[in-house]
Amino acid sequence: MKNSTPTTLQNLCPDAEIWNDEKVRACFPKKKPNSNKGDFGSVAVLAGYGALGAPLLSVGAALKSGAGYTHLYLPPAEHEL
């Protein structure tokens, strides 16, 4: 017999807490108006041979998360950009 109780986050983990945008934003410091990209660290994405999609998604995620400098390193002559 199949369980008729729907599986929800509350059922799986009663102590779980769902965060809204406001709560997440409160965890990050506000950027000062006179700040620059050098103030926010750097990310290096090292990509191997194969598809280019995953490295580009990683670079995009780094930029969206607030990284200052973001570098993508690819093997020579593997991809045409």
- Top-confidence residue, 75 or 78: 75
Rounded Cα distance, 67 and 58, in Å: 12
Instruction: Give me the pLDDT at residue 17, please.
Output: 81
Distance from the Cα of residue 49 to its chain's centroid: 22
Rounded Cα distance, 45 and 73, in Å: 6
Task: Put residue 33 in one of left, alpha, beta given phi > 0 → left and psi -120 to 50 → alpha.
Answer: alpha
Mean pLDDT calculated for residue range 15-31: 83
